[in-house]
Structure 1
Amino acid sequence: MAVYVITGKLGGGKSIMSVSKVRDYLNEDRIVATNIDLKLHWLVRHQAKKCRVMRVPDKPSVFDLNAIGLGNPLIARGIKDESRNGLLLLDECGTWFNSRDWNDKGRKELIDWIIHARKRGWDIGFIVQDLSVLDKQARVMFAEHVVYCRRTDRMTIPFIGSLYRMITGQRLKLPKMHVGVVKYGTERHSMTVDKWTCFGSGLYNAYNTSQIFTSNYDHGVYSYLPPYYTHYRYRVTYDFRNIMRITKIYFKRFKKVTCFAGGCLLSLLWLEFTAPAEIETVKISPTEYAGYKIMGYYKMPNQPYTYSLQNSDGANISSVQLKDIGFDVTAINACTLKISNGQSESLIKCR
């Protein structure tokens, strides 16, 4: 049997580290009993049918602990396998396991139950603010392992953190992670036997972080229903009808974005399927105008020559029209004109 006393300052991650161990036990199909309000659908798969989790009163009595039965079902069959032990996790033990309440009525029977918890197949976790809160006799008898919980985002990197704060005026934080250092014994210098780590991002919704523990808890021991019976069987099945309903809902919510995206898509399709046909370009050789002669020209100030051309059939054309056709027109002098298309050229002169 392993008994852990889980300690840490306020907000140091004691509860979330403990809930991460609950998740580990459930993933191994082991029994869990705790006085923490859990939300199982955040701890295990929604399809889980057989996870066994019992809620005990905030400050359980020996009657309540007897009601949870065996933590390891193999014991009933005479098989000894402590790797299948269940977990009994009790939070805020400092309020009812301290020296002032040590001699309360029923405390002797409760201690006797905890002493024999190994024979009932239970691993136990006590969550307290500090180890000194527990009565000395409880520390001596029960505190086999002590877990010191810390949050890395409250630490800083030596020298680098100070330098960063001097430059920016802000604190350099490490990534938020919960670390539990497991010591074998109650002394700070005891041997470190394990380290627990968890990021906790998926566990904040798995339990009631604002739970208040009271002495007048009005319920007895009860079992949580597995997530299959509370969530999974009531899920919306993804058949064609429901998919169309969901699609309709999202179309209504995002109709403006949908219309804009649809318009863009239709515009692209229209441009793709209605692209103008390629126009065949017919290249004309300058030699076709070799029979033309310069009939006249004029030149405006700071402007190039403008020529008027005519062939033997009386067809007229100007140098401006030749440029529009695509020829390069170069005026050599008043009576000589060169036209070219980049591949061939021709000279046109006066009569």
Structure 2
Amino acid sequence: MTYPKLEIHLPKLHHNAKMLVEMCRKKGIEIVAVTKVFLGDPEIARTLVEAGIPMLADSRISNIKKLKEIPVPKMMLRIPMLSEIEEVIEYADISINSEIEVMERISQTALKKGCQHQVILMIDLGDLREGIWEDEADEIIEKIIALRGIRLVGLGANFGCYGGVIPEKHTLEKLVEMKKRIEQRYGIQILYLSGGNSNSLHLIWENQMPEEINQLRLGEPIVLGKEDVYDKTIEGLYDDAFCLFGEIVEIKTKPSVPIGKRGVDAFGHIPQFVEKGMRKRAILALGRQDILLDGIKPKDANVTVLGASSDHLILDITDAQEAYRVGDIVELKMNYGALLAAMTSAYVAKEIIRQPDKKEKGKFQ
């Protein structure tokens, strides 16, 4: 097998999705599975749907196209570019929006195609990414309702992705209040209150989720078994459905601080070093072109990442549990950003594991 390699364990992904679907369903919440981290791969997406996921979402129309044959609704997770509206209407059933100009163009295009496109209006509740302000809502909604090629089916909010804002009960209650006001004033039904991403999961466990919130858009909890607020593995979920492996190409004992006059590195940074004397180091054949350096750590807790260039990952293996040799394979754990980078890299081989490990087989019954 070619290295670096990313193993994708479908039984573990199925398990994670099934557990999350059941957990959220008890609170009246449906999960929209975000497929962007695995580039909209149809086999992976189909596995999630078989586990009970009722809707798929992606921010790239090229990924949504790959999901065309999977018989569940698709959501465009990023505000459509004017240049891609025709494709969004063709391949996505619903899209998130906040710009009236974009929605006007969607309506015009949908009418030409003889259809109506569903829209979730995004409300900015403090994270300062996409969304309108609350005090703009009535003016915008009046304009949306007048667009015959659009149907307003939901209100949504996003948290954590830009401003790091953690959703709270009183914050999401603003969506609930807005829904009630809109339905009463305009006589329409708001089907979805999309209460954020994995940052909102903690409100379920803490019994703080408003009852009217009925949708969450989840990626990381499904693929890595983690939630964002406390950065912990969710009980009962797998955190190794995706595993990254790299091959050692050099092992040498060297000083811990470079020798000679120093300037910036290849990426424009001034690296900092701690004097630890002579250390045994291993170089893996992968680098910043393949991974997010800050988002990986070796599975062996006694091995540390020293740094990386475009094509070389340098590890300190002085205290490693194993006696590594050139040609050995090192397993690396990833956060969401590192997984996204590894999946996107054309230089990382992808291997799909379709059967459960023998030692874990009983967990997937």
TM bucket normalised to smaller? under 0.3
TM-score, structure 2 normalization: 0.26
Q: TM-score, normalised by structure 1?
A: 0.27
Select the structure of larger CA radius of gyration.
1
